[in-house]
Each structure stands twice: as C-alpha cells, then as structure tokens.
C-alpha cells in the first residue's frame, strides 16, 4: 500500500502523485474509486471539500428549490384571486313577510286561522266585534237619509213658493198634493211619509196666511171701489150746490131773492165739499191699506222662501259632512274584519282565544307569502360600500347547509341603499320585523356614526340546493353570509400589501419614530 496517500499532511509532490490540479477530484492511484473516497477522509477539511465531487442529490435539490421559487414568483404575478365584501343577512320573500296588524281596538269575535294555516288573498283571518261601529254607521246613515228627505221637501216648498209669487190672485194659491214629492229609492218609507206630512202642513200654513192677507186686500179693494163711487156722487153734489149758490147770488143782486137763501146754499155747498174731502181721505187710506196687504203677501212668500233656502243650505252641508263620516264609519266597520293581503302561510299568531282583546297597532300574526321570489336582505359594513354596486355577482353561503359540504349558491346585487344605518338598528330590524315601520334614526341630539352598515338586497340565481342527492328549496328566515365580488387582485400585491402599507406609514415616521417602523414591520411579517 502506498502510505503517502494516507499521510494527513501534504507533502511536496503529492499533487503530482495524484495527477490532478487543485479543485479536481482525485482518481484512485490504484484505480479504485471507493478506496479514493476513503483516502479523502485523511485530507485536511479544506482539501477534502475541494477534492470531493458534488452530490447529485444536492444539485437536484438546489435546482428543485430554484424552480419552485421561480414558479411561485410567476404564479404570484400572473395568478389572481377575487376580492370580496362580506355581508350578513337573511332570506325573505320579495316584499318581506307580511305583518298583520289591527287598526282598530276590539274584541276577537271569530278566529279563522292558526299557525301553519294556508290562506289565500282576501280570506278572512280574524273578525272583531263590530257592534259599536255598526251602530255608529247606522246612526250616521239614518241622519244622512233624514237630511236627504228634508232636502227634497225644501226644494219642493221653494218651487211652490216661486209658483205663488208669479200668480197674485187668490184662486192660484192652491197647494199641490204631497204625493208629488219624489224621494230616492234608498230613503226609508217612514222618512218619506214624515216629510210629506211636514210639506203639507207647511204649505197649509202659508196658504192660510196668504188667504187671510188676500181677504184683507179684497176687503180694502171693495172699500176703495165704494169710496170711488161715493166720491163721484159727492163731486156731482158739490158741482150742483156751487151752481145753486151762484143762482141765488144773482137773484140777490137783482133784488129778486133774499140773502138768507144764499147763505143757506153756501152752507150746503161747504158741507158737501167737506164730505168730499173726507171721502177722498178715506180712499187714500184704503189704497194704502191695500198696498200694505199686497206687501205682506210678498213678504210672507219671500220670508218663507228665504227660510227654506237657508235650511236647504244647512241640509246640503250636513249631507256633505255625513257622507264623509259615513265613509269613515263604513271603513271602520270593514277594518273589524281582517283579511289576508296575500296568499301564504300563517305564522306567529298571537290570537289564541275568541273574546281576546286586540289593541290597535299591535301585531296579530305574520303571513309568509307563497309562490313569490325570494331575496336576501343583508347589511354591508361601511368600509366595503365604496366598491359595491348593483349588478355585481355574489356567492351565498347558507348557514343551515355548510358550504364545505353542500356548496354555495350564486346571486346578484339588485339594490344598494343610499344611506347607512347604525348596526344596532339593523339588528333590531332583523330581530323584529314589525319594528321596520319605525325610524332608524337615533333620537338623541348627536347621531350615532360608529358601526354603520348599508342595507343591501340580493337576488338568487337559483334558490335550491342539492342536499344528500335531493333538491331542497331555500326557505324564508334562513341566515346567510354573502360574499360580493368587487374585483381581482394579484397574489404578490396581496402578499406585499403589508409592506407597502408600512412603507407608506414610514414616510411619516422618519426620525425619532423610526423604531416604530421596524416594530410594525416585524408584527406584519409575523402575521
């Protein structure tokens, strides 16, 4: 054996013996490679590393690591994943679950449904005792019919008075029969008979007054006629006596008669003139009385017509008011019968017994509409609303069916609210549907601006899932998690986004705050 090859220290000329320059592997002097490797163990460590050939496994591992790093970089640059905004919500029918409430306070007279009962639109579900409302409606209807009948009578009286105004002779003051009054068919017969009686009595009273005034006028007219005849006779007598006085005066001048006869004739003439004047005064008084009687007739007709016209106006106003009151009374009575607004299934009925008192505005039951499309009402955090718009696709995860086992559903955003509400108010709306009618604005002076959420409405592309080989429909009330696709992002951007964020913050933290930068960087890298 050549012991020089196994000597632990290099000797002069050993490279010559080996026949290789430094850095090259040593062949076995005797042609035995395994023996050569054993000999390498006796070399110094540095020479052993230089003279030992590289391991193929290590070279392959290095190439594998390099290839893996390059592939990861390429995948990180060209690979992209979806950016999603997550919102929590629940499934509900389009138009929400119908909340049945009572607008009137009353006592339940009949309950036609229970929980789980299927009803159609317009079916009676609860009847309240309508005795009071029906009595109110009946009273208002009776008053309305009474005023309508009175209006017919007032119009007939006014028309008859107008006829009498046009005819001044007493023979035309004949009252028509009350049977000529024409009432509407819905006016009760008792009201018609009563108004006919009042009509006849009123016209008889007016007719009696007119007859009395006409009798007075006739009397005065006869008196006037008599006075006019008397005046004609008295004028003739005065004329005759005047001639007698003149004749006797001429006889006295001719000394053929006595003066006593002249005086006697003059006395008779003066008496006749005085009587004529008296009769003329009586004629004027009778004429004035006749005019007064005629005026009284016109006054009676006008006063009666005016009174009936004012009463007619009051009746018309009362009719207008009662018609509106009757509409409200009928509406109140109709509201005592509660009907289903849609076809669906009754849930959460609070009416348990007949006779139960129902307060106005309280929730009686809920009806889940049937055969209506389903939708999702979700609430999106305020930080994600800037990237969500109508029409964006969404992934829907139903909590009742774990998505890792049963998959997910797809849908689209159909409506985005233009204003945010506080998250506690959103939770209150979700927990109690009847509170939806209340305002979600805070009542304090300072509005709540923390934990704001935006209501969203999404539609299903398909509202069915495959569960254990069966098609199961999604039902209202199920809680869901919605992931709305808002865009895409490179994987490298996602991985280096913490560094970019810390780098942007570092620009404002130079100087005395620089250690804070490295602390944040370490925290982000640890994450």
Question: pLDDT tens digit string along 363-410?
Answer: 899 988 888 888 999 999 888 888 898 999 999 999 999 988 998 999
CATH number of the domain bearing residue 426: 2.40.30.170
Q: Of 24-28, 119-123, 293-297, 354-358, give the lowest mean pLDDT range.
A: 24-28
pTM of the model: 0.58
Query: Do 251 and 348 belong together in one domain?
Result: no
Query: Do 38 and 157 belong together in one domain?
Result: no
Contacts of 107 (CB under 8 A, 6+ apart): 128, 129, 355, 356, 357, 358
Residues 30-38: contacts with CB under 8 Å, at least 24 apart: 30/2
Nearest of 94, 34, 30, 20 to residue 368 by alpha carbon: 94
Assess whether pLDDT exceeds 60 at residue 30.
no
| pLDDT tens figures, 220-272 | 788 877 778 777 777 787 787 777 777 767 776 776 666 677 677 777 777 77
Query: Do 352 and 392 belong together in one domain?
Result: no
Is 304:277 a contact under the CB 8 Å cutoff?
A: no
103 found inside a domain: no
Query: Do 91 and 146 belong together in one domain?
Result: no
The residue behind tokens 């490679």 is 33
**What distance in Å separates the CA atoms of residue 405 and residue 467, rounded to the nearest whole number?**
9
Query: Do 135 and 121 belong together in one domain?
Result: no
Is 392:118 a contact under the CB 8 Å cutoff?
A: no
Q: How confident is the model at residue 483, as a pLDDT?
A: 92
**What distance in Å separates the CA atoms of residue 112 and residue 127, rounded to the nearest whole number?**
8
352 found inside a domain: yes
Distances (CA, A) of 123 to 97, 103, 358, 359: 17, 18, 19, 21
- Please, which pLDDT band fits residue 506 given cuts at 50, 70 and 90? low
- In which domain, by residue range, is 58 found? 3-74
Query: Do 187 and 112 belong together in one domain?
Result: no
365 found inside a domain: no
Instruction: Using alpha carbons only, give the angle 263, 267, 273 rounded to the nearest 5 degrees.
Output: 140
- Please, which pLDDT band fits residue 443 given cuts at 50, 70 and 90? very low
Query: Do 147 and 230 belong together in one domain?
Result: yes
The first and second tokens of residue 386, run together, are: 């800037």
The burial class, CB within 10 Å (0-12 / 13-18 / 19+), for 406 is middle
**What distance in Å separates the CA atoms of residue 114 and residue 345, rounded to the nearest whole number?**
10
Query: Do 183 and 39 belong together in one domain?
Result: no
Query: Do 142 and 267 belong together in one domain?
Result: yes
10 found inside a domain: yes
Q: Could you give phi then psi for residue 92, rounded to 5 degrees? A: -150, 155
Is 170:210 a contact under the CB 8 Å cutoff?
A: yes
Nearest of 125, 133, 124 to residue 104 by alpha carbon: 133
Is 413:390 a contact under the CB 8 Å cutoff?
A: yes
Query: Do 452 and 434 belong together in one domain?
Result: yes
Query: Do 250 and 316 belong together in one domain?
Result: yes
Phi-psi region of 102 (alpha: psi -120 to 50; beta: other; left: phi over 0): beta
- Please, which pLDDT band fits residue 96 given cuts at 50, 70 and 90? confident
- Please, which pLDDT band fits residue 337 given cuts at 50, 70 and 90? very high
364 found inside a domain: no
Query: Do 278 and 311 belong together in one domain?
Result: yes
The burial class, CB within 10 Å (0-12 / 13-18 / 19+), for 452 is buried
**What distance in Å separates the CA atoms of residue 388 and residue 461, rounded to the nearest whole number?**
18
Handedness of CA 209, 215, 220, 224 (dihedral sign): positive
Instruction: Return the beta strands (E) in 314-362 as ranges.
Output: 337-339, 344-347, 357-358
Burial 212-247 (b: 16+ CB within 10 A, else e): ebbebbeebeebbeebeebbeebeebbeebeebbee
Contacts of 304 (CB under 8 A, 6+ apart): 157, 161, 206
The burial class, CB within 10 Å (0-12 / 13-18 / 19+), for 348 is middle
More confident residue, 248 or 354: 354
- Please, which pLDDT band fits residue 47 given cuts at 50, 70 and 90? confident
- Please, which pLDDT band fits residue 23 given cuts at 50, 70 and 90? very low
Nearest of 139, 133, 142, 147 to residue 329 by alpha carbon: 133
Strand-pair category, 337-339 with 124-128: antiparallel
Domain count across the chain: 4
On the CB side of 80, CA atoms within 13 Å amount to 9
492 found inside a domain: yes
The burial class, CB within 10 Å (0-12 / 13-18 / 19+), for 179 is exposed
363 found inside a domain: no
According to DSSP, residue 410 is labeled E
Contacts of 343 (CB under 8 A, 6+ apart): 118, 119, 120, 121, 369, 370, 371
101 found inside a domain: no
């Amino acid at each position: 054996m050549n012991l020089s090859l196994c000597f632990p220290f290099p000797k002069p000329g050993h490279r010559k013996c080996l026949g290789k320059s430094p850095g090259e592997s040593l062949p076995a002097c005797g042609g035995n490679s395994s023996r050569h490797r054993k000999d390498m163990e006796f070399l110094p460590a540095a020479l052993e590393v230089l003279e030992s050939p590289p391991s193929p496994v290590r070279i392959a591992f290095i190439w594998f690591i390099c290839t893996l790093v390059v592939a990861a970089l390429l995948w990180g640059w060209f690979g992209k994943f979806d950016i999603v905004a997550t919102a929590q919500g629940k499934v509900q029918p389009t138009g929400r679950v119908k909340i049945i409430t009572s607008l009137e306070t009353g006592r339940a007279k009949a309950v036609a449904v229970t929980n789980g009962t299927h009803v159609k639109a317009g079916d009676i579900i609860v009847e309240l005792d309508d005795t009071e409302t029906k009595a109110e409606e009946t009273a208002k209807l009776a008053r309305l019919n009474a005023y309508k009948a009175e209006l017919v009578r007032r119009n007939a009286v006014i028309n008859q008075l107008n006829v009498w105004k046009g005819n001044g002779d007493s023979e035309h003051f004949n009252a028509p029969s009350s049977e000529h009054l024409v009432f509407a068919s819905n006016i009760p017969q008792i009201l018609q008979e009563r108004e006919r009686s009042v009509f006849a009595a009123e016209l008889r009273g007016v007719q009696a007054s007119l007859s009395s005034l006409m009798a007075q006028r006739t009397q005065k007219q006869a008196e006037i006629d008599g006075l006019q005849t008397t005046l004609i006779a008295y004028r003739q007598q005065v004329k005759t006596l005047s001639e007698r006085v003149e004749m006797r005066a001429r006889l006295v001048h001719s000394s053929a008669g006595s003066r006593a006869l002249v005086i006697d004739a003059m006395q008779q003439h003066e008496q006749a003139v005085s009587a004529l004047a008296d009769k003329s005064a009586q004629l004027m008084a009778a004429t004035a009385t006749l005019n007064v009687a005629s005026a009284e007739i016109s006054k009676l007709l006008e006063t009666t017509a005016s009174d009936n016209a004012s009463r007619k106006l009051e009746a018309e106003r009362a009719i207008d008011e009662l018609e509106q009151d009757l509409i409200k009374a009928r509406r109140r009575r109709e509201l005592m019968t509660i009907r289903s607004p849609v076809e669906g299934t009754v849930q959460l009925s609070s009416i348990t017994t007949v006779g139960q008192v129902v307060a106005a505005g309280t929730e009686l039951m809920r009806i889940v509409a049937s055969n209506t499309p389903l939708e999702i009402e979700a609430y999106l955090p305020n930080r994600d609303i800037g990237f969500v718009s109508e029409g964006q696709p969404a992934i829907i995860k139903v909590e009742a069916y774990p998505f890792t086992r049963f998959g997910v559903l797809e849908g689209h955003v159909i409506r985005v609210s233009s204003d945010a509400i506080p998250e506690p108010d959103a939770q209150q709306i979700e927990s109690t549907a009847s509170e939806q009618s209340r305002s979600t604005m805070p009542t304090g002076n300072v509005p709540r601006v923390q934990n704001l959420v935006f209501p969203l409405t999404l539609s299903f592309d398909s509202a069915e899932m495959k569960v254990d080989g069966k098609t199961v429909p999604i039902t209202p009330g199920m809680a869901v998690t919605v992931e709305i696709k808002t865009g895409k992002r490179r994987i490298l951007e996602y991985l280096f986004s913490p560094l970019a964020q810390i780098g942007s913050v570092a620009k404002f933290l130079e100087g005395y705050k620089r250690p804070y930068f490295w602390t944040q960087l370490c925290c982000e890298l640890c994450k």
